[in-house]
Structure 1
Amino acid sequence: MSPIPPVSRAELTRAFWKIGWLSFGGPAGQIALMHRELIDDRGWVEEDAFLSALNVCHLLPGPEAQQLATWIGWRLQGLSGALIAGLLFVAPGAAIMLGLSILYTLAVGLDWFAALFLGVKAAVIAIIVQALIRIGKRALTTGFKRGLALAAFVALAGFDAPFPLVVIGAGAIGMAVAAARPDWLGVKPAMPGVSRPRPGGTIATIAAWGAVWALPLAIVWLTLGPDHVLWDIGMFFSQLAIVTFGGAYAVLAYMAQEAVTTFGWLAPGEMADGLGLAESTPGPLIMVTQFVGFLAAYRDAAPFTPLVAGIIGAGLTTWVTFAPCFLWIMTFAPWMERLNRAPRLKGGLAALTAAVVGVIANLALWFALHVLFREVRATGGGIDWPVPASFDWRAGVLAVVAGVLLFGLKRGVVTTLAVTAGLGLAAGLLA
């Protein structure tokens, strides 16, 4: 094997500036893009090291593609490389999402805008179903995993179980089962151990990055107090960052329900609008949190103007969503080889990923109910039930069109969103 060539900060910056603007297509597309740019074209990282790091990133909460980018930067240029790669991976998408959020608030209430976003909402249903099928095929490889997925769906949709409890419970079950029956989860036997990094350095890293994570929250608490909406935004999305296992789809239903029902920051249809915007921008899908943070602060702006409050809310949300990713990578990067050989951790991840399939099924149901029906009522046990007379036939037709585009014609997400948005706009103008 030829030695890995030295990489300058300027080269690293140019590479991740390009990747940041081209990282469409969700984590699979983003990881494939990095593989092509950094391994196939430039030869900066060994194939085995890339795959090993990706395996560990799957163990960590948060967007695995962004964490993998951060690890590559750390591998090539240490702390400065991690910051360059991690920040450039999300900066283009964050900037575009902020601009779209501002335009969204300016256009709310216009008939043509509502018609256009009816098509976006309908497409979101098909996009989530596509993600459900794709992840299910990859994750549900054993009968035990399929049972976990079904149990997670029933717990969430039928009994309104707390999302964090479902995620943590699945991980705990997986770690226990991996010790006794690893074949139930498809976990391979443990590999020989490797050297152990220095614990003191790990503790110092956790303390330093924990302070970075908490800094804006401390500023909000000292200047605005714990009763301000920015404090609620910061605390909620900080907690969400800890349980974001299995990708953005895994927490979207939980986030939507809390943002809509508990905090009243936005309406169910607006949550679908935000997801549609996030699907059409580069970077991690979890950037939809920025849209939610922007609207929450925009609508409860004092003592700021709505626009200033919205920008602060978006920035705070993005900070507390992605700062933990740097904490995880900077903490665990030296331990990656040991973590990649831990069968119990792999068992916990396998069970958690299986449960995520059930979580995404619940998300698909939640969005379908709130997009296809104008009125949804909560019944006993926390189950939402649609009012049949409120069915929106236009949304139903557009959802079918989106399904045909994605599954029948194999069109991409951006193309599907553009077509259904255009059809929604045309239907609205004709009406």
Structure 2
Amino acid sequence: MNHSNTTVPYSLRELILYFLKLGTWGFGGPVALAGYMHRDLVEDKQWISEEDYKEGLTLAQLAPGPLAAQLGIYMGYVHYRLLGATLAGLAFVFPSFLMVLGLGFIYVHWQGIPWMQAVFYGVGAAVIGIIGTSAWKLTRKSVGSNKVLLAIYIITAAYTVWQENENIWLFLGAGILYWLLKAPPGKLSFLRKNAAIPKSLAPSLLLHITTATQGKTLWQILLYFTKAGAFVFGSGLAIVPFLYGGVVKEYGWLNEQQFLDAVAVAMITPGPVVITVGFIGYLTAGFPGACIAALGTFFPCYLFTVLPAPYFRKYGKHPGIKAFVDGVTAAAIGAISGAVVVLTKRSLIDAYTIGIAALTAFILWRFKKVPEPLIIAVAAGMGFLARTIF
């Protein structure tokens, strides 16, 4: 199945419904969400081709902002262009945004979330099992036994574990290295031209942000979260240290405990991890604060996806570009696997959590058709019991 010249095997409505469901049930953060999209849209439904998925993953890695949201926006763009990109992005973010608002309301009115943390104790462990399985499948599919791609994969995985963040230069370097090896230069001008698109947008965004930092809290929230969305590379988790620096240290909108709870809320809700900005916005300035924080964070990543997308679609089949994409994809999956290790260290803290994660991975490996929401619900119950009884 190629791009727009063949009949599209699904309607826009079906695509929106898929992203609403993914936003409602897609636990596990960017790693798992990228894996679900591959499994559902490429393997099971065959709505999206392997090349289109790889192009989307590369673009999501190279542009700043949350990985899963950008990949979702690109999946919408593949056959339904701007309308598809916009609606897919909104459908993906909306369910978790509503949940975060609800949890923010409960949090403010019932002071803190010990019971939520008890639930998260189990959910966090199950999520490790889910994302570990996702990362393994992605690795096997995209890296396979290719020695150069395997080397790229191992280096980026090791770097991610060591530094606990992701490095844009590693992705670019991996793409360029593999391109030089596989399809030595003919047309570098394309990459130069299009690498400049997100970069050229960034200074103008920064200009808007820095010229008017005075004013009311809502204005500050909009400017601050636009900066967060426009300048943080890597997965949704990469935004956490950036947010901590501003929300807790610089502005003092939240204290340490509230911030940790905000991150926990992002983890226990499905959909993109970055949705924690909605919770932070709600605690800072109520419902308007939540809406403005979410808009500020997601709008730049939407622009960074739809503006370069036509170029990616047009030139994606060129052998040099294809080799570049393959190199970046190997690096991306290495970073994803590294992120699994980092998260494992944080989430698996005792025998119970290790047991839940191992059981989840075994169930997913042994029984292909067990729905994730069921696993998450059972793990939540187990976590709650382990925390409250034992």
TM-score with structure 2 length normalisation? Answer: 0.72
Q: Which residue of 1 aligns with 2:85?
A: 86
Distance 1:132 1:273, change over 3 A: farther
State how 1:60-139 maps to structure 2 within 5 Å: 60-61=59-60, 63-74=70-81, 82-83=82-83, 85-105=84-104, 106-107=106-107, 109-139=112-142
Moved more, 417-426 or 266-275: 266-275
Distance 1:407 1:323, change over 3 A: same
- Contact kept in structure 1, 2:164 and 2:342, CA below 8 Å: no
- Contact kept in structure 2, 1:120 and 1:273, CA below 8 Å: no
> CA–CA distance in 2 between the matches of 1:397 and 1:37?
30
Deviations 1:43-90 (A, max 9, x none): xxxx9xx6665554344225334313223123xxxxxxx22x223223
State how 1:386-405 maps to structure 2 within 5 Å: 392-405=350-363
Q: Which residue of 2 aligns with 1:324?
A: 304
| Equivalent residue for 1:144, pick from 114, 139, 148 | 148
Distance 1:357 1:4, change over 3 A: closer
| Equivalent residue for 1:168, pick from 172, 177, 180 | 172
| Equivalent residue for 1:361, pick from 321, 330, 337 | 337
1:158 counterpart letter in structure 2: W
Q: Which residue of 1 aligns with 2:274?
A: 289
- Contact kept in structure 2, 1:59 and 1:346, CA below 8 Å: no
- Contact kept in structure 2, 1:124 and 1:275, CA below 8 Å: no
> CA–CA distance in 1 between the matches of 2:164 and 2:135?
20
Q: Which residue of 1 aligns with 2:322?
A: 346
Q: Which residue of 1 aligns with 2:295?
A: 315
State how 1:211-290 maps to structure 2 within 5 Å: 221=213, 228-240=220-232, 243=233, 251-260=235-244, 264=248, 271=263, 273-278=265-270, 285=271, 287-290=272-275
Distance 1:138 1:162, change over 3 A: closer
Please state how far the C-alpha of 1:430 moved relative to its aligned partner.
2.3
- Contact kept in structure 1, 2:223 and 2:296, CA below 8 Å: no
- Contact kept in structure 2, 1:213 and 1:323, CA below 8 Å: no
- Contact kept in structure 1, 2:57 and 2:329, CA below 8 Å: no
Deviations 1:343-395 (A, max 9, x none): 2222222111212232123211221222234xxxxxxxxxxxxxxxxxx3332
> CA–CA distance in 1 between the matches of 2:17 and 2:76?
13
State how 1:295-310 maps to structure 2 within 5 Å: 295-299=279-283, 301=284, 305-310=285-290
Deviations 1:279-316 (A, max 9, x none): xxxxxx5x32122x2233344x3xxx334312321222
* Residue 336, structure 1, aligned to residue 345, structure 2: no
> CA–CA distance in 1 between the matches of 2:163 and 2:15?
44
1:231 counterpart letter in structure 2: L
- Contact kept in structure 2, 1:216 and 1:316, CA below 8 Å: no
> CA–CA distance in 1 between the matches of 2:119 and 2:274?
22
Distance 1:96 1:399, change over 3 A: same
> CA–CA distance in 1 between the matches of 2:46 and 2:130?
30
Please state how far the C-alpha of 1:101 moved relative to its aligned partner.
0.8
1:112 counterpart letter in structure 2: W
- Contact kept in structure 2, 1:116 and 1:422, CA below 8 Å: yes
> CA–CA distance in 1 between the matches of 2:113 and 2:149?
46
Please state how far the C-alpha of 1:125 moved relative to its aligned partner.
1.3
1:72 counterpart letter in structure 2: H
Moved more, 166-175 or 358-367: 166-175
Q: Which residue of 1 aligns with 2:371?
A: 412
Please state how far the C-alpha of 1:129 moved relative to its aligned partner.
0.8
2:175 counterpart letter in structure 1: G
Q: Which residue of 2 aligns with 1:386?
A: none
Please state how far the C-alpha of 1:122 moved relative to its aligned partner.
1.0
* Residue 372, structure 1, aligned to residue 348, structure 2: yes
- Contact kept in structure 1, 2:118 and 2:387, CA below 8 Å: yes
* Structure 1 gap ranges (5+): 41-46, 75-81, 183-189, 245-250, 279-284, 374-391
Distance 1:253 1:169, change over 3 A: farther
Please state how far the C-alpha of 1:325 moved relative to its aligned partner.
2.2
Q: Which residue of 2 aligns with 1:380?
A: none
> CA–CA distance in 2 between the matches of 1:14 and 1:212?
35
What is the aligned residue count? 351
2:168 counterpart letter in structure 1: P
Q: Which residue of 2 aligns with 1:158?
A: 162
* Structure 2 gap ranges (5+): 27-32, 61-66, 249-253
> CA–CA distance in 1 between the matches of 2:214 and 2:224?
14
- Contact kept in structure 1, 2:347 and 2:353, CA below 8 Å: yes
2:356 counterpart letter in structure 1: L
Please state how far the C-alpha of 1:29 moved relative to its aligned partner.
5.1
- Contact kept in structure 2, 1:128 and 1:360, CA below 8 Å: no
